[in-house]
Amino acid sequence: AIAGAFGAVGVAVWFLLVDLIAAEALFTPTRLGAAFGRVFGIAPMVETETAAFTGYTIVHFAGFAVIGIVITAIVHLSDRQPSVLAGAFLVFIISEVLIYIFISLLHATELLEHLTWPLIAVGNLIGAALMGWKLWRDHPRLGADFESALTGKPQGHPPRT
């Protein structure tokens, strides 16, 4: 969950900066929250900007917490089975595509004009880089495990404790 928090904060700060440059502070989370409320039938998120912002912020951080837990579990599993990292990398690529599809399904024209694909991609890369940095820092053999996953050559290091 801690790695996920790093990613969540990074993405949130990125879009705060984007919104501030556009002179529309908190535009992105507020509009995403309202669109989320419309799609999932959560009336308060549609009716007030405060509820939209608060609701989306909760969803945002909860989602990243789940991602952080999953990727941390994958890193621990990679000690015994490094090839799982190659699969996780593929899942990351697929999830990036799914994020773009999800945002498109929100049918928020005003939001899609503001949230261009490059801005979303940069935000996602910032989040992924911060989570990766946290995991890399906490698991020094992760690089060797990833190399083993890609090359198929065992690394021969003792199991983590």
CA 103 distance to own-chain centroid:
13
Q: What are phi and psi of 26, to 5 degrees?
A: 65, 15
Locate 155 and state its tokens: 């690394």
Whole-angstrom distance, CA of residue 97 vs CA of residue 35: 19
Whole-angstrom distance, CA of residue 8 vs CA of residue 29: 12
Burial readout 42-54 (b: 16 or more C-beta within 10 A, e: otherwise): beebbebeebbbb
pTM metric for this prediction: 0.79
CA-CA distances (angstroms) from residue 128 to 17, 28, 88?
18, 19, 12
70-128 residue pLDDT tens = 989 988 888 788 788 888 888 888 888 887 777 777 655 566 677 777 888 899 899 99
In DSSP notation, 25-87 reads TTHHHHHHHHHHHHHHT-HHHHH-HHHHHHHHHHHHHHHHHHHHHHHHHHHHHTTT-TTHHHH
Does position 131 have pLDDT exceeding 90, yes or no? yes
Contact of 64 with 8, CB cutoff 8 Å: yes
Q: What are phi and psi of 112, to 5 degrees?
A: -70, -25
Nearest to 13 by CA among 109, 122, 102, 132: 122
Mean pLDDT of 6-22: 95
Nearest to 160 by CA among 142, 133, 143, 147: 142
43-55 residue pLDDT tens = 999 999 999 999 9
